[in-house]
Structure 1
């Protein structure tokens, strides 16, 4: 235990590591009667920062489970006649039909909270394009639960990872600590939407009388997989707040992060929104927006069929320019944008800036049930247009959300500059199941201290809100 604490402390630059212990509640993988055991183990998966090696051949069954009949009334769905549940791992989302995956995704959130990133179309685009695959360190290990009629009752997007890139919940210091301690952190299991820091359900379940039981079985299956693979850990990043709370009861450590979101208070226009701002902030935004026309730039919002192949080819160049400047490598391939657009249709909104007939910048957004999700931005290499980033990513998104009567805009990770443009800090969540007891205690203590500091920072940021005191 002392060695683990010393390793974490040495690896992390955080000033608030300590030694408070965490007594994780033990989750039994035999909570429900099972007719077969998980019949495999893993000696090695892959090693190295980005490149994956060939995995050991596996029996992909996670067992058969018995369901208890529910006494709930008013639900006549045929799924409730089921009594058995078979859980297995699939190595590609293509092994699950789009209709059945999307039925789970939609039921998990509800139509009003529809999340486009959890659809079969988006996730399959990542795999089909070679963006989130074994060769890039994202080996799909999705968990699927079917009844005896082969109907899918629940799914979990899950990946076996050889690195921590593309996650936006940072655990590199944890990996360093494991190495210092003489243990191996990678591979690890990760439930998330690759390269996408967007909150949403991660355990996607059909709305039946067995919903709570299926949830518990799927969580137990994830834990069982973690144990059988003998990987260091299982991480669930950007889950819903409800899932975050439930997973604490299953022995997961809780972590809190922060993003900046814009809230629509029934605004009828952009000017209506500006009237809620303090005068100095309102003036600054108007000045920034005026710079667009003075640079002979034209802004357009393109949706669905309006976005042509040439737009995606050019946007990919913008994306590559951004990643070359920021990260050094691009996570997404050119094919991803074409595949995703063909599958997502009107859920895609591309904001573009034109100078004459030339496309000079763009911002990719996806439209959900009540949210506009800002994702990626880019412009021509070595081009500089003052305030264009703010216009394309923030102000155009606000105008679109008002036009579509959406509740909020999620503008992605990081960026305190968003506050003065109407995007205020909100908490985000992640859950972590650490197999090593000593590390689990130390990381638990770190997370408690990190959370206290984050809550203090969020309080200070809210005090610098650009809105009037009496604004909604």
Structure 2
């Protein structure tokens, strides 16, 4: 692929892996707020997580995710920004579905793959995609990264570029620069200044409050013990158990797990301070668990799995334990991942998510643009409908 495309005083380059860059250089752009030793705002964009995906073989090789990170440098060589960019040979693990677009393009005789994807692999969590170092050049560096990604796709005659789970500000700026705008929704829990889980319950309508209490009691009625683990409290035995849970969920949902066993070994070595594991034990045996990542303001729910079925245990492990942990950690919200309207009754409200798309063929681009316009209208209407039916007490 071509690189070295200069834009004013910004030079765009590509690399073959995030691991080629020094962690401090990447994180100065991806997580500058964590320089004080605290949690990054977006734990998924860090060098340690993205390079763990590479080292573990979860991306690269024959996975269909070929790393092509993008760099923006000033004319004097200073690194101003980076972007997690991948060459994709399929549309798995993205959570913004373009399968219908691929089928339509291929029925017309075109090659939809390979395509470019600016994203965190397997992670439907909103975050910056144009990761710029703070300073007066941040805005121009972000624009240069976006335009550089488009040029990279166009020069190599790729069908498309997709920027998924970007921020609303990036979405609006991308639209101004001519990219197609897509919108969807997830269910997020917002901390309204709660001091304890009971304070959150008090905010709910009476019927919902009783339902949640009943579900929490039901989840542990069979002698299930639940513990939350982070940092040095996480030991290899916990990852071994969680790998079994993850394989079960992956086989049922995706056909095969996206993450390799080696990724969880990487997590034990490099990521455990970013992780909150909720583990369930019965009769001395680990039977279920949920993997969360801790951000500076947000707890991100990622994976759940079990080897024993217990009523309401999924709700307790993934949703109520996450809320309780977020309150204790003083976090502003919980993002519980993709899909799941059942989260609404459990205090998680609809929140918009955003993606940007560049399509090389003019006619196909026009057809997709019309579809996205109608889809955005439908998503907005659904969010408004669901918000009116939330579980919280009505004012007045």
Same fold, judged at TM 0.5 (above):
yes
Contact 1:62 1:221 in 2 (8 A): no
2:252, 2:136 → 1: CA distance?
50
Contact 1:109 1:201 in 2 (8 A): no
1:112, 1:348 → 2: CA distance?
10
Indicate yes or no: 2:274 matched with 1:332. no
Cα deviation, residue 288, structure 1: 0.7
Q: Secondary structure of the residue that 1:466 maps to in structure 2? A: coil
Indicate yes or no: 2:174 matched with 1:247. yes
Instruction: Pick from 310, 313, 335 the counterpart of residue 240 of structure 2.
Output: 313
2:388, 2:209 → 1: CA distance?
17
- Work out the number of aligned pairs and report it: 394
Indicate yes or no: 2:343 matched with 1:418. yes
Instruction: Pick from 365, 369, 392 the counterpart of residue 440 of structure 1.
Output: 365
Q: Aligned runs of 1:1-20 on 2, under 5 Å?
A: none
Show the counterpart of 1:394. Answer: 319
1:192, 1:179 → 2: CA distance?
23
Q: Secondary structure of the residue that 2:373 maps to in structure 1? A: helix
Instruction: Pick from 160, 177, 202 the counterpart of residue 104 of structure 2.
Output: 177
Show the counterpart of 1:63. Answer: 5
1:329, 1:300 → 2: CA distance?
28
Cα deviation, residue 235, structure 1: 0.4
Show the counterpart of 1:94. Answer: 19
1:132, 1:280 → 2: CA distance?
46
Instruction: Pick from 128, 153, 165 the counterpart of residue 92 of structure 2.
Output: 165
Show the counterpart of 2:205. Answer: 278
2:61, 2:180 → 1: CA distance?
27
Cα deviation, residue 375, structure 1: 0.4
Return 5+ residue gaps in structure 1 as ranges: 1-57, 68-84
Show the counterpart of 1:467. Answer: 392
Q: Secondary structure of the residue that 1:135 maps to in structure 2? A: coil
Instruction: Pick from 153, 158, 171 the counterpart of residue 226 of structure 1.
Output: 153
Q: Say which one has the larger Rg.
A: 1
With normalisation by structure 2, the TM-score equals 0.96
- Computed over aligned residues only, the root mean square deviation of the Cα atoms, in angstroms, reads 1.7
Contact 1:125 1:336 in 2 (8 A): yes
2:174, 2:268 → 1: CA distance?
34
Q: Secondary structure of the residue that 1:286 maps to in structure 2? A: helix
1:378, 1:143 → 2: CA distance?
34
2:309, 2:39 → 1: CA distance?
39
Instruction: Pick from 177, 186, 191 the counterpart of residue 259 of structure 1.
Output: 186
1:179, 1:297 → 2: CA distance?
50
Instruction: Pick from 310, 323, 329 the counterpart of residue 404 of structure 1.
Output: 329
Per-residue deviation, residues 216-240 of structure 1 (Å, max 9, x unmatched): 2222211110111101000000001
Moved over 6 A (4+): 108-113
Cα deviation, residue 259, structure 1: 0.2
Cα deviation, residue 149, structure 1: 5.2
Per-residue deviation, residues 229-272 of structure 1 (Å, max 9, x unmatched): 10100000000111000001111000001100000000011111
Q: Secondary structure of the residue that 1:290 maps to in structure 2? A: helix
Q: Aligned runs of 1:120-135 on 2, under 5 Å?
A: 120-135=47-62
Q: Secondary structure of the residue that 1:255 maps to in structure 2? A: strand
Show the counterpart of 2:353. Answer: 428
Q: Secondary structure of the residue that 1:103 maps to in structure 2? A: helix
Q: Which stretch of the first structure deviates more once superposed, 247-256 or 289-298?
A: 289-298
Indicate yes or no: 2:50 matched with 1:116. no
Contact 2:80 2:132 in 1 (8 A): yes
Contact 1:116 1:347 in 2 (8 A): yes
Q: Secondary structure of the residue that 2:4 maps to in structure 1? A: strand
With normalisation by structure 1, the TM-score equals 0.81
Contact 2:234 2:272 in 1 (8 A): no
